[in-house]
Structure 1
Amino acid sequence: MDEVEDKVRGVLVEVLANGMSIEEVGRDADLVEEYGLDSLQMISFLLGIEDTFDLELDYENLELDHLRSVAQFASYVRQLAPAA
């Protein structure tokens, strides 16, 4: 894993607040299907990502496919913040 993926996993663990550790979050696990993020958690997750990486997500171009896994979402974040 890399630093961006680790930070994404960290935000996810905070939002889920279910006792899961960062190490338990798989890089290919579906954020919605496997971790069951509901709409409020998803908003918290996306806002947490913006705060963590000090960026504004492009919500108009954000697609569900970007949220299919930690690895895919980290790739999306890297495109918005290449220095991340």
Structure 2
Amino acid sequence: MYDKIVDILCAIKEDQPELRQILSPTTELNNDIGLDSLQMIQFMLKVEEQLNVVIDYDQFDYEHLQSIDTFMTFLKSCQPQELSLYEDVQK
């Protein structure tokens, strides 16, 4: 999971090729990486897509971005994504 998150962050911050070398499990997602609001949305959507989880934004809090480790712990509490995000609408 950690490697996927690092890959996603590096893809979003492609203007910072040195980013991969400075990332660690204790890296703060907001303060150390400096994602702007659009990049944060891209990050969350890519995490959902690539890690096959549904982020519960009612449960999500700023504190979950304290570090990559903290974010991964939050993600482990999220539900796995069903085959279709809109399956319940189709019924």
Partner of residue 67, structure 1: 65
Match of 2:10 in 1: 13
73-82 vs 51-60, which moves further: 73-82
Residue ranges of structure 1 left out of the alignment (5+ in a row): none
Alignment correspondent of 1:42: 40
Higher relative contact order (CA 8 A, sep 6+): 1
Work out which of the two has the higher radius of gyration on C-alpha atoms and give 1 or 2.
2
Q: Which 4+ residue blocks in structure 1 deviate beyond 6 angstroms?
A: none
Note the aligned Cα RMSD (angstroms): 1.7
Write the distance in 2 (CA, Å) between the matches of 1:42 and 1:29: 15
TM-score for the superposition, normalised by structure 2: 0.77
Output the CA distance in 2 between the equivalents of 1:28 and 1:64. 15
With 20-29 and 4-13 compared, the bigger mean Cα shift is at 20-29
Q: Give the structure with the larger strand fraction.
A: 2
| Percent of matched pairs sharing the same residue | 28
Gaps of 5+ in 2: 81-91
